[in-house]
Structure 1
Amino acid sequence: MRIVIALGGNAMTAPDGGARVEDQLAAIGAAAEPIADLVLAGHEVLLTHGNGPQVGNLLRKNELAATVVPPIPLDWCDASTQATIGVTILDALDDALGARGSDRRTTVLVSRTLVDRDDPGFAHPTKPIGRYLTRDEAEPLIDHGQEFVEIAGRGWRRVVASPEPRECLDAAAADTLLAAGYVVVCSGGGGIPTQRTADGRLEGVEAVIDKDLTAALVAGHIGADLLVIATDVATVIRGYQTPTQQPIGTLTAPAMRELAAREAFAAGSMGPKVEAITRFAERGGIGVITSLDRITDAVTGTAGTRVVPAG
């Protein structure tokens, strides 16, 4: 099969969320093991990943240096972390594949995701990023054109647009590399947010794109059979934290739409994941949410919450 695997933040950091270099190396090394098994089983694999903690580290550096050097734009932060995380994944995969006697090739694409210039998110940014600051700490960043809101009792926090992903601009390159036998890392962090100007040029834009929605988009672009979103739980839970909670197994896309409307999965966590696998199933594929250690079982159909096409 051709499989897209979206690695969540837990696959990139320590269990406590730590994003030190050694934390990331250890976590990504562990994540590479089941992926290498899938590659050796004959599957074509494209990986995408989150980058929240890593971008957070860069934003912290922006804050500390704002009075000395101009802040690095958010699209540049995305590009930087795509490259850093991508190369780290490649090294870990090369080690895991080599230990299994394979010389399968790996590569990373620093890749862009197209968004609409007229997306309503740009008019009313609501996606909070970074840490809470005092007014004095936020002032130099506001002077550089960043938008902050005050949260009563907590401080000032930056907000940016979170536009809908429309097209993975480098999916054709990923498709070509997959066909040539590469394991590909692509569209990390939802892709570098990019818009088309009035005169047709492409340019980066300050925004955050949901990585799971982009994963569903790139999976459709490359004709994937299966989209696996690897997170820190084995399945999606119906009635979460209630006496009647229960795991969700396999549902059709229309059934998951109905369930999601009733459950109102959290917008900052499970909601986008459910939306992503549902969208992919509506396009004819199979979408799965499961934990990293159950990826192999998810591919064989014995683990995770699965959404399949209607009929």
Structure 2
Amino acid sequence: MRIVIALGGNALLQRGEPMTAENQRANIRLAAERIATVVPGNEVVVAHGNGPQVGLLALQSAAYTDVAPYPLDVLGAQTEAMIGYVIEQELGNLLPFEQPLATLLTMIEVDREDPAFAHPTKPIGPIYDKETAELMAAERGWSIAPDGDHFRRVVPSPKPQRIFEIRPIRQLLERGTIVICAGGGGIPTMYDAERKLHGVEAVIDKDLASSLLAQELEADMLVIATDVDGVYTGWGTPQQQRLERVTPDELAGLDLPAGSMGPKVQAASEFVRRTGKEAVIGSLADIALIVGDRAGTRVTNPH
């Protein structure tokens, strides 16, 4: 079975946890232990988030004033390599030596007319109190938005259109390689009026990019791994209830948070509608049960 696993940000860094290399490696080690359980007998592709990491690199870049700060697409490429390196290493420590692994820098095309460029919504980087966030916004020209009790920088999140490296990803998979790709939603790129490709100051949603990746790879299953065990109605109330099996049309009628579960549901629904296959949203800790049809919220077409 060909499985695309989209790791949520919690797989790399817990909320409020210091962004040290040691903390990130410890979290990735736990994620690798869970992913390793579903490798035997399956073709596995791993995608991941990078919001805190790309935000940290942006701050470090801005602190060096002798040159202009590096753009987000370049920082995104750096985080793909950095995070992929650690995932490869931790998986390699668990799997047989003969198991090949590869991390691919992944460029993803976006539309320069995408309305998202006029409405930044994607949070990146660390959290701030309101006063600090407003100061950073004034100094650096950032857009900011609430994130729980705190504030974060937000950037445009255009919809992914095309994965440039899909052919080498497919070729590696067919030769038994575990592929780590489309990190952080991929490196956002677009063509200008002269048909020249270049990077863009944006962040593509990781779950939507993973859905597109799974579609183009003709995956049998898309697993969106997060820190909750599924999609709930009435979340946070005494009436909350986990959905076990649901169709995209049924999910479309739910009111879900745009910044958390909303994109995951959209990504899962798009994959199911376009492929007829199954997507599952659930806890990374339950990934073996998810693949075994015993956990998570399973999104399927009606029978």
Question: Normalised by the size of structure 2, how large is the TM-score?
Answer: 0.91
8 Å contact kept, 2:54–2:124: no
1:266 counterpart residue number:
257
Q: Structure 1 210/179 Cα, relative in aligned 2: closer, same or farther at 3 Å?
A: same
Whole-angstrom distance in 2 between the partners of 1:248 and 1:179 = 34
CA distance in 1, matches of 2:101, 2:145: 44
Aligned residues: 296
Q: 1:141 to 1:29 in 2, by over 3 A?
A: same
The question of 1:166 aligning with 2:161 is answered yes
Aligned residue identity for 1:225: D
- The secondary structure found in structure 1 opposite 2:159 is coil
When residues 60 and 214 of structure 1 are mapped into structure 2, their CA distance, relative to the original with a 3 A threshold, is same
8 A contact 2:137–2:144 mirrored in 1: no
Offset from partner CA, 1:143-200 (integer Å, 9 cap, x none): xxxx44698xx99975421111111221221111100110000100000001012222
Equivalents in 2 of 1:228, 1:47: separation in Å? 10
The whole-number CA distance in structure 2 between the counterparts of 1:76 and 1:103 is 32
CA distance in 1, matches of 2:228, 2:165: 30
Query: 2:190 — aligned with what?
Result: 195
Query: Which of 251, 266, 269 pairs up with 1:275?
Result: 266
Instruction: Decide whether the 8 Å contact of 1:10 with 1:17 is kept in 2.
Output: no
1:81 corresponding residue in structure 2? 79
Is the 8 Å Cα contact of residues 77 and 187 (structure 2) preserved in structure 1?
yes
Instruction: Identify the residue that residue 33 of structure 1 maps to in structure 2.
Output: 33
Matched AA of 2:266: E
Deviation string 1:9-44 (CA, Å, 9 cap, x unpaired) is 11112464332101111111111112122112x100
Residue 247 of structure 1 corresponds to which residue in structure 2?
A: 242
Is 1:300 the counterpart of 2:298? The answer is no
Is the CA contact 2:134–2:144 (under 8 Å) kept in the aligned structure 1? no
Contact 1:63 1:137 in 2 (8 A): no
Q: For 1:179-258, list aligned pairs within 5 A.
A: 179-258=174-253
Identical positions, percent? 46
Change (3 A) 1:156 1:86: closer
State the Cα RMSD in Å. Answer: 2.2
Which runs of no fewer than 5 residues in structure 1 stay unpaired?
none
Partner of residue 45, structure 1: 44
Instruction: Name which of structure 1's ranges 28-37 and 299-308 shifts more when overlaid on structure 2.
Output: 28-37
- Structure 2 unaligned segments of length 5 or more: list them: none
> Given the two structures, how large is their TM-score scaled by the length of structure 1?
0.88
1:234–1:159 CA distance, 2 compared to 1 (3 A): closer
Aligned in 2, Cα 1:10/1:148: closer, same or farther, shift over 3 Å?
A: closer
Say if 1:106 and 1:148 are closer, same or farther in 2 by CA, change over 3 A: same
State the alpha-carbon separation in 1 of the partners of residues 236 and 145 from structure 2.
31
Give the counterpart letter for 1:211 in structure 2: K
